[in-house]
Structure 1
Amino acid sequence: MGAATVLDGVSLSVAAGELVALCGPNGAGKSSAVRAALGLTTLQGGVAKLGGEDVRRLSERERGARAAYLPQERHIAWNLPALEVAALGAPFLSGAAALDRARAALDEVGAGHLAERGVAEMSGGERARVLLARALVVQAPLLLADEPIAGLDPDAQLLVLERLRARADAGGGVLVSLHDLTLAARIADRVVVLNAGRVVADGPPVEALSSAVLRAAFHLDGRWVEAEDGPLLAARRIAQG
């Protein structure tokens, strides 16, 4: 089998204090873009930078200090207590300092009561909170979250997005890939839409997710309705011939 081009000419940046939502249909290249930004994918061209420096020239420790990563996969091999899992986000702190930071992060995501429970004994939603806490513990200037609300109930989805929004409001940069376009429009400062490995829109949420983009990238006939809590997408599927 020949090699396939997953990303083609993608240009993407995240500024301090900004939350950018990365949207697109399945297979658009969202996860690949997140991994490329972290140096976890080999690029055939172009360059990925963290803090203005080529990620390929940074040591693992330097990468870890500049960016926290919350992957899609929520599997944890060992049944460690939540507190210890969260503390893994601060491997270069002393044990006591890492545990203190982990306890504060668990409280922040509403999981303080799970501190001593093994992660294998938790529901998927509980485990998601613990992993978010681990990412917050890093306290890096950039946080990248790949579909962090997939499979979560509405309360957990909103909690995760609220914490990511709070991190941006506190001055951090946040890049989060999302499938829920309404939530993306409500939480993000900017939306970047990927389709077939290319950026097809980049701008304020409702502008980036225009009727034309909804039709071309998502095969939706949609329009935005102003609601009390923010824009709401009213859409119907366009049947494919």
Structure 2
Amino acid sequence: MTAWLTMWDATARLGGRRVLDGADLRVERGELVALVGPNGAGKSSLIRALAGLLPLDTGVARLAGDDVNDLSPRERSARAVYLPQERRIAWNLPAMEVAALGAPFLSGADALAAARKALDEVEVGGLADRGVAEMSGGERARVLLARALAAPSQALLVDEPIAGLDPEAQLMVLERLRARAGAGQAVLASLHDLPLAARFAHRVAVLDHGRVVADAAPLAALTPDILQRVFGLSARWVDGPDGPLLSAVRARPQGS
């Protein structure tokens, strides 16, 4: 089966600094893949490259088998929707209108219907008529996620979708992304919370210095060796009421 999202041997630079260094990744429809790594590992760059927003120096990024560089912006948006980590909104539009922007190629009525459904999906349907500038940061984050969910695409590329949310909202968002994968979409989400990545993702891809150094089911990807080498954590898996749980503490520097 051809993966919906594919990248191999990808290298890229930003401001003269190499942010991707031979990265390989594939995501099938029906999968939620968590992309994890320390700050500066290249997670946002990898997602932007798959979205066609960061040119590669070498290697290939493909959407549904086609090089992203060969696709028009409309074709790219039909195959994958991108949610950036930044949550700035230039105008104080009602949440319904912001969410409807995720479906620009639908008719007005269909776009509004998709927006309403997406707002309800992330539990802010009651804010549909409120201006986004009048919302809390967490509420605004949900509206922007609804904008991505309103898009009729087959893949979601979401960069830190749970950053800044309270614990209940974090669980809700990851449940929704897992459900989207279960409905047949390919979902790639960058996350900093390793226990939540392990809990919700079908696979975890660990990025370090622009390279994918582990890509497997959570227990196989987040091994004690990987956690120490990449994150500086001393960690082990323990039995929890709903399955294995990741127990981690910051490793002491050598000699301390």
Q: Which TM-score tier does this pair reach, normalised by the shorter chain?
A: over 0.9
Residue 216 in 1 paired to residue 229 in 2? yes
Alignment partner, residue 68 of structure 1: 81
Q: Distance in 1 between matches of 2:93 and 2:239?
A: 45
Alignment partner, residue 150 of structure 2: 137
Out of 29, 32, 48, the position equivalent to 1:16 is 29
Alignment partner, residue 4 of structure 1: 17
Amino acid at match of 2:25: L
SS of the aligned residue for 2:87 comes to coil
Structure with the bigger RCO (C-alpha within 8 Å, sep 6+) is: 1
Residue 171 in 1 paired to residue 184 in 2? yes
Amino acid at match of 1:135: A
Residue 78 in 1 paired to residue 115 in 2? no
Residue 227 in 1 paired to residue 254 in 2? no
Residue 240 in 1 paired to residue 253 in 2? yes
Aligned length: 241
Q: Distance in 2 between matches of 1:240 and 1:196?
A: 20
Q: 1:240 Cα deviation (Å)?
A: 2.8
Amino acid at match of 1:13: R
Q: Distance in 2 between matches of 1:164 and 1:2?
A: 32
Deviations 1:2-56 (A, max 9, x none): 8221111101010010010000011111011000111111110001101100000
Alignment partner, residue 200 of structure 1: 213
Amino acid at match of 2:29: A
Q: 1:239 Cα deviation (Å)?
A: 2.4
Q: Distance in 1 between matches of 2:75 and 2:152?
A: 13
SS of the aligned residue for 1:99 comes to helix
Alignment partner, residue 104 of structure 1: 117
Q: Is the 8 A contact 2:35 2:204 kept in 1?
A: yes
Q: Distance in 1 between matches of 2:33 and 2:169?
A: 20
Q: 1:93 Cα deviation (Å)?
A: 1.1
Per the normalisation by structure 2, the TM-score is 0.92
Q: Distance in 1 between matches of 2:19 and 2:142?
A: 30
Residue 32 in 1 paired to residue 21 in 2? no
Deviations 1:188-227 (A, max 9, x none): 1100001111111110101100000001000001001121
Q: Is the 8 A contact 2:51 2:81 kept in 1?
A: no
Q: Distance in 2 between matches of 1:231 and 1:23?
A: 18
TM alignment of 1:116-131, pairs within 5 A: 116-131=129-144
Deviations 1:46-82 (A, max 9, x none): 0110110000010010011000111101110000000
Residue 57 in 1 paired to residue 70 in 2? yes
Q: Assess, with a 3 A threshold, how the Cα gap between structure 1 residues 117 and 13 changes in structure 2: closer, same or farther.
A: same
Amino acid at match of 2:164: G
SS of the aligned residue for 1:8 comes to strand
SS of the aligned residue for 2:40 comes to coil
Q: Distance in 1 between matches of 2:15 and 2:83?
A: 30
Q: Distance in 2 between matches of 1:172 and 1:2?
A: 33
Q: Distance in 1 between matches of 2:212 and 2:77?
A: 27
